[in-house]
Amino acid sequence: MKLHGRTRLAPLAITAAVLALGGAPAFAMPATFTHPDTTQTHYARPPLPKNMTPLPKAPAQSADLAKARKVAHVYMVVRHRVFANFVDMVKADLGAPFQVGDTEYTATILQYVPDFAMDIESGRVYSRTDQANNPAFRIAVKQKDTAVDTTWALLDMPPHFARRSLLSFQVTKIEYTSGKPILPRLATAPPAMSGMPPGPAAGRTAGGKGK
């Protein structure tokens, strides 16, 4: 069914999608929790709808990543929630802060998960295998020197704005210290970027300088 040119999804499908991305639907009234990185108060995830089929139970621990390929560089598209025309393309390294455009924001990749999955009930992120089947990166954002957000950037999923996020990150290419790089299998680039090739064809390095 379409409404004003937009596809109208079933409420249950919307709820499941939002929960899977770590958010909460607007109609839910869950408890709150303190964000571990910013000490800000956030809404906790509501319980799954009673009529939803239970999801497979998450493993007790993440897969052994000792043999996982090591990441050399990550190329990402950065978008802004308020300024729709803002686009920045960056080349980043794990643990190295990078400037976001000409803004007051900097970001740092904190963690690499080669086969990203999330336990919806607990919100725990884990890697199903040591293979890059669903690569994801945990990113911390600062405004000047103040931590303001922690989010995830994935290769084969459109960028996601969390409840309090102003910036979104989408991976367009991953280079490893060995083997071939990985490009998106799906056309997930934002419309404004669809005419630009993935990776280093445009944008800056992790230090915020041109190539």
* Residue boundaries of the structural domains of the chain: 7-43, 71-193
Task: Determine whether 152 is exposed, middle or buried from the number of CB atoms within 10 Å of its CB (0-12, 13-18, 19+).
Answer: buried
Torsion sign across C-alpha atoms 153, 155, 157, 159: positive
CB 97 within 8 A of CB 108: yes
Place of tokens 């954002």: 141
pLDDT of residue 79: 93
DSSP state of 205: -
CB 199 within 8 A of CB 183: yes
- The pTM of the full predicted model, rounded to 2 decimals, is 0.64
pLDDT of residue 85: 92
Per-residue pLDDT of the chain (211 residues; tens, 9 = 90+): 433 433 333 444 434 444 444 444 333 334 444 444 444 454 455 566 677 666 566 677 778 888 899 999 999 999 998 998 999 999 999 999 999 999 999 999 999 999 998 887 788 899 999 999 999 999 999 999 999 999 999 998 887 777 778 899 999 999 999 999 999 886 444 444 433 434 333 444 454 444 4
Output the six-digit token pair for 108: 């740092």
Residues counted in the chain: 211
DSSP E strand stretches across 54-115:
71-80, 87-92, 98-99, 105-113
Task: Kindly report, residue by residue over 85-122, the tens digit of the pLDDT.
Answer: 999 999 999 999 999 999 999 999 999 999 998 887 78
Rounded Cα distance between 100 and 103, Å, is 6
